[in-house]
Amino acid sequence: MANLSPMMKQYFDIKKQYPDTILFFRLGDFYEMFYDDAKLASRELDLTLTGRDCGQEERAPMCGVPFHSYETYLAKLVAKGYKVAICEQMEDPALAKGLVKRDIIRVVTPGTVLESSMLDESRNNYICSVCVRGNTAGVCFADISTGELHATVLQDDLSEQLKNELSRFAPSEILVNSAVLDFQQLPAFIRNRLSASLELLGDEEYEESKTAAEVLEQFGKPSLEDLNLADKPALTAALGALFAYLHRTQRTGIERIAAIELYSGAQYMKLDLNARRNLELLETMRSKEKRGSLLWVLDKTRTPMGKRLIRSWMEQPLLSPAAISRRLNAVEELTTDAVLRDAIGQELSGIHDLERVMSRVVYGSANGRELRALESTARCLPPLRTALSGVHSQLLGSIIERIDPLEDLADLIDRAIVEEPPFSLREGGIIKAGFSEELDLLKGDMSSGRGILAEIETKEREKTGIPKLKVGYNRVFGYYIEVSNSYKNQVPPAYIRKQTLTNCERFITPELKDLEGRILGAHDKSVQLEHSLFEQVRKQVAGQMERVQRTAVAVAQLDVLLSFANVSVDNQYTRPIVDMSGKLELRESRHPVVEALLDAPFVPNDVTLDKVENRVAIITGPNMAGKSTYMRQVALITIMAQIGCFVPAAYAHIGITDAIFTRVGASDDLAAGQSTFMVEMAEVADILKNATSDSLVILDEIGRGTSTYDGMSIARAVVEFVANQKTLGAKTLFATHYHELTVLEDLLDGVKNYNIACKKHGDDITFLRRIVRGGADESYGIEVAKLAGVPNKVVKRAKQILAELSQTVPAVSAGKAKQSSVEEVPLQMALTPPGEAEALECLRQMDVNTLTPIECMNELFRLSKMVKGE
């Protein structure tokens, strides 16, 4: 190390401060990496590994990326979970005396990305901090690219609550204390389900070192007491650790955190991970695409801020009828005025990402083009306010008040920055003429100097008689006079030879050298002055952060409300009645996503649920008939109403629902050692423990993963539990292929039977997609198998087997059910030939609806051989 060059000593001194990062070390036009960093980067980025003489016997492994296009390489490293420390030249190398000063300007981690090219404008990029103490967890989510910070306290059943909160915000980086690792499944969940970077901080970093209080005081934010955090030590510790981490990685810009929103579960509808996934709110289950989700239907927003806000609203439906009504009033006013909608939409289309541009301004990384984007956005705000001037609803009125026209900022930027600024601040040419008298004088010297050069060239040609004499410039030798070899005998004695080339000679003169100093001095001074002026302008804009942030939030809300209004008009949605009645009454309701995907008209259906006479709807009927679609549309309409959107129904009366729980479909979790049936039962258990009488419960085909009688028994017990007001009494849609459960309408209060209407023509079946009162008298499984393409031979044989089973297995009729319970049905069939008994036992446990046609054929072939004793 003693023999290292000064530059490499500087490199190692800086690297020592950030040992867990890849160091981007600025050398001229490149960010260079050395030693282990170079080897890692060359492997991960597919770069050529070279070497550099650093004063030791062995050359240092080295690779680099161009500084003007570093974001592409940075994005790849950060996406793979690496941290990258950006080491910048803190002075112009041309003006540096000795070694160029360098320092870390920021450390880029998955949760602290600011570069627009690395961010999805339609979603937030959160960094999360979690501190667990006993049975309490403090959790906060910050998006430094927008200035948001959301915080809450969780208690009891922390593992599941943390999973739900983390999946809702989907942070890209999570900071935790050691106690979080006691939840053994949580780290795997973070890595596998969220694909997030997990950072274990030392317990000392989560000690109450007053970091949070100090940061809040330093940047003029409300105190811990004002934020009601003084008695929340776990949350205070989480905030403190987050602020300390941001200060360590970002150096500047923590003041960008505009406000801390302290939220609780009492404010929003509870939607756990299963509900969000099963209802496909933001993406489809299979392809993970936006198309086919509720977001795809509702998101017609025009601004990046609106696109992020609509996601947040959809994941946090409101529980306050008053707050919901304010949104609905605004949407209704917009739906009735097409001219207003068009005027607002036109102005919103010209608005850039105010939040993220402002973040880069505050962090000192915004360039001239981004300031110009801010200026063009500000020009849209006065006409936007004018368009809203005649509105009557309270929410739209408050939006007008919060939209600041920002005319002073627009004027400042327009006076200072050229209309087409260069990408780099070091190039010059970014400040407009007339903004700075000193800069104009320097540029005048540069212009006049270039004119004098042209005069010198003309004068020297005339004086020497050399027709092709020319004055040129390069960075190494500066300005020079170039004479071709054919005329070098005519060169005057006063010319001083500077460089000899193959076909010419280059000279300088005292006059030319003096002029060079004047021109180059003016150029260097002008570049420095432009950089300084730009930073002053950027700092002035950063000082107006709160005004811009307030405007951005208001614009985002207006954008989402306009999106709701446009979708409601285009799709013929209706304003719902939302209150605390506990009712859920829909007439001619439709599935918002399915009807958008269908070419044919969607068949509407009615819904009647309440907390008294219609608590549980048992829905029977064949698979593929539309039971799942019907139940999902009820849940989606409920969510739409509580986020303040109109709904796809002729009439909708929706009592506030505090949570939606779903148990839909079959899946397993082999990594956790859980089968499909185990996962199903775990989800049912979670629902029964956490649902309340104000919840909406969606249960689809409970008990399918086990034997027929076990499954039927579990299904019946679950219905009894959810229907009973003493145990739960929640509004429940219960779809089942056990049509025997329809007897419960006569046995339990609040239970009603419904079925999917269908017409049977011989062996053919037609689904009418209508929900009607009453229970289905059969499951139509064989007809569905035929509809799915199972060969006729198999279908005929299945009917024979069904007939034999019907004669052997006692039927559970409605009359008998009143005198007997499920447990009284015989659990075994007394059939003598062993092969037949074994085959029939297999059939009893088989669910044909879950089998593909080829699986049906294979199973029947196996059963046939079993019966024949082969």
679-710 per-position pLDDT tens digit: 788 888 889 999 999 999 999 888 776 667 78
Q: Report the distance separating Cα 668 and Cα 676, nearest Å.
A: 4
Encoded tokens for 615: 């608590």
Q: With 60 as the cut, is the pLDDT of residue 667 above it? A: no
Strands 60-66, 30-34: pairing kind: antiparallel
| Cα angle, residue 59 at apex, residues 55 and 61 outer, rounded to 5° | 125
The sign one gets for the Cα dihedral 231, 233, 234, 238 is positive
Binding residues for ATP, by number, are 621-628
Encoded tokens for 424: 């780099």
- All structural domains of the chain: 6-108 (3.40.1170.10), 118-264 (3.30.420.110), 299-406+544-565 (1.10.1420.10), 437-534 (1.10.1420.10), 572-776 (3.40.50.300), 780-870 (no CATH)
Over residues 113-117, mean pLDDT: 90
Q: With 60 as the cut, is the pLDDT of residue 378 above it? A: yes
Over residues 493-499, mean pLDDT: 90
CA distances in angstroms from 692 to 607, 658, 679, 688, 724, listed in the order given: 20, 8, 22, 9, 12
Q: With 70 as the cut, is the pLDDT of residue 568 above it? A: yes
pLDDT at 650: 97
pLDDT at 761: 61
Residues 644 and 324 sit within 8 Å (Cβ to Cβ): yes
pLDDT at 711: 82
CA distances in angstroms from 501 to 268, 471, 492, 510, listed in the order given: 78, 15, 19, 22
Binding residues, by number, are 621-628
Give the pLDDT band of residue 820 (cuts 50, 70, 90). Answer: very low
Single out the residue of 645, 642, 638, 639 nearest to residue 569, CA to CA. 645
Q: Report the distance separating Cα 620 and Cα 735, nearest Å.
A: 6
> In this predicted model, which residue has the larger pLDDT, 788 or 204?
204
pLDDT at 291: 94
Q: Look at 472-486, 634-648, 655-669, 690-704 and tell me which has the smallest mean pLDDT.
A: 655-669
Q: How far apart are the first and last CA of the chain?
A: 81
Helix (H, G, I), strand (E, B) or coil at 89: strand
Rg (CA), the chain: 36
Enter the pTM of the model.
0.82
822-857 per-position pLDDT tens digit: 333 333 333 345 566 677 777 776 766 666 666 677
Over residues 411-437, mean pLDDT: 89
| Per-chain mean pLDDT for the chain | 86
